[in-house]
Amino acid sequence: MKAKLFSAAILALAALMFNPVWAQEAPTVDRTATGGAQTLEDIMRRQKQLEIDESFRSENLGNPADAAPDSSQLGTLGGRSDADVWRAIRYNEIDPTVQSPGPANKVLIQDQGMPWYKLREGPVITYGGGAILGFLALLVVFYFVRGKIMIDGGPAGTTIQRFKAVERFGHWLLAGSFIALGITGLITLMGRSFLIPVMGPDAFATLAAGSKWVHNNIAWSFMLGLVMTFVMWVAHNIPNKLDWQWLKAGGGLFTHGHPSAKKFNAGQKIIFWTVMILGASVSLSGLSLLFPFQMPMFADTFAVINSVLGTSFPTDLAPHEEMQYANIWHSIVAFVMMIAIIAHIYIGSVGMEGAFDAMGNGQVDLEWARQHHDLWVAEVEAKQGKGGSS
Amino acid sequence: MKVMISAFIAALLIATAAPMVLNQFGWSSAEQTSAESVRLD
């Protein structure tokens, strides 16, 4: 069941990358009237941004085997006309010799720039930004409906150590860098649309350059924090039967009950694995963007997905397309993470009495601990009874 | 709270050191675009 849910989530995320228009089937067009060249219907469909089967020209690249001898007239192109050669350049089906040896410099024309730009400036900003604002509004409503989750009977007045200093350091390294990455990422993504009209292009240029520096460099802190928290907490976040009981009770959010939990309850485990899986994914796509053209990974990933799920994602990608996919994927994953982390921040601060102390000074009220992590408290007390530590 | 502030400072220190460390290893995006390119001027 978990594997199916995970596959469905991956598929849903992947599906978000594609414009619905692309899914429309291209009709078969009779091109005999134009001798195989494009027709008025092709042009009209292109103007309406509908799908066109480009194979009639992407595969019409001439045939060097038909070359006329060099000594003959029109023999210099080796059986290809000028139009054939330009079509080969247009569809990246040529292996040119270039003076600059950069990885992407052999691609003379790459035509996915505008679709990428439109996707980035359109649906990614609209749905991503809308999802964050909508979720914030939902939390405000939830807060006023449910109210702050209080400690039943009030605090005990005595505390128990919930997290050691090194655990809190790893958490705040991850959290601090993630918040900086989120803010600078949103400035980079949305600044052109929302900040330039307010502050003008000159001031935004300075802000954008600063955001880029922070985003590119604080990413290393995020990755270090991710590794630290994974190593420290993975053993406590392995799902078990208790989590199902906790989920069935809704974590007590709506029933005012307190389902049993060990060090981390099912809700915290969901946050943990969301951060770890999406954090790893956003780090990989971020590294691909940080070192342009050096770490292409989408063609290989698509090949694996195609072989497992039988899909037909493109596997022959130009270096620029790899960057475009990395950019879009980076944004989508970051938005999902931001929403998850907003929920985490809510429940760890204003949403629950006594929760912040766990990461504030590491000491939580004993009654709070008994109500939310009763089995963990029992474990700690049993160890302390034997002279051990938490 | 001291741990939280220490972690924030550590994040900034790592961010400041990152470009210098990367340059030491030759891992610079600027390096990729200038040194290997042929200048026409």
DSSP string across A244-264: HHHHHTGGGTTT------SSS
Chain A residues whose beta carbon lies within 8 Å of the beta carbon of residue B18: 216-217, 220
Put simply, whether A99 touches B (Cβ < 8 Å) is yes
- Give the pair of three-digit tokens for residue B34: 């200038």
What is the set of domains in chain A, with CATH numbers?
Answer: 10-90 (no CATH), 113-385 (1.20.950.20)
Q: Do residues A91 and A58 touch, judged by C-beta distance below 8 A? A: yes
**Nearest residue on chain B to A218, alpha-carbon basis:** B15
pLDDT at A254: 77
pLDDT at A168: 97
Enter the ipTM: 0.79
pLDDT at B30: 52
Say whether A218 and B3 touch across the interface (CB within 8 A): no
- Give the pair of three-digit tokens for residue A99: 């003076």
pTM of the prediction? 0.82
Cite the DSSP H helix spans in chain A. 2-15, 40-47, 55-58, 82-90, 113-119, 125-146, 165-190, 196-233, 241-248, 266-290, 298-309, 319-348, 357-360, 366-372, 374-385
- Give the pair of three-digit tokens for residue A186: 């949103």
Ranges in chain A, pLDDT < 50: 1-2, 5-6, 9, 15-23, 388-390
pLDDT at A1: 42
pLDDT band at B41 (very low <50, low <70, confident <90, very high): very low
pLDDT at A250: 84
For residue A115, the distance in angstroms to the closest alpha carbon of chain B comes to: 25
pLDDT at A283: 97
- What 3-state class would DSSP assign to A186? helix
pLDDT at A16: 46
- Scan residues 194-233 of A and list those with Cβ closer than 8 Å to B: 214, 216-218, 220-221, 224-225
- The pLDDT tens digits of the residues spanning A213-259 come to 999 999 999 999 999 999 999 999 999 999 998 998 888 777 777 88
Put simply, whether A294 touches B (Cβ < 8 Å) is yes
Chain B residues whose beta carbon lies within 8 Å of the beta carbon of residue A224: 14
Say whether B38 and A100 touch across the interface (CB within 8 A): yes
Number of H helices, E strands in chain B: 2, 0
Interface test with A, best of B4, B23, B38 (most A CBs within 10 A): B4
- The pLDDT tens digits of the residues spanning B4-28 come to 999 999 999 999 999 899 888 877 6
Q: How far apart are CA A270 and CA A52, in angstroms?
A: 43
Q: Do residues A172 and A389 touch, judged by C-beta distance below 8 A? A: no
CA dihedral (A208, A213, A219, A224) positive or negative: negative
Say whether B15 and A169 touch across the interface (CB within 8 A): no
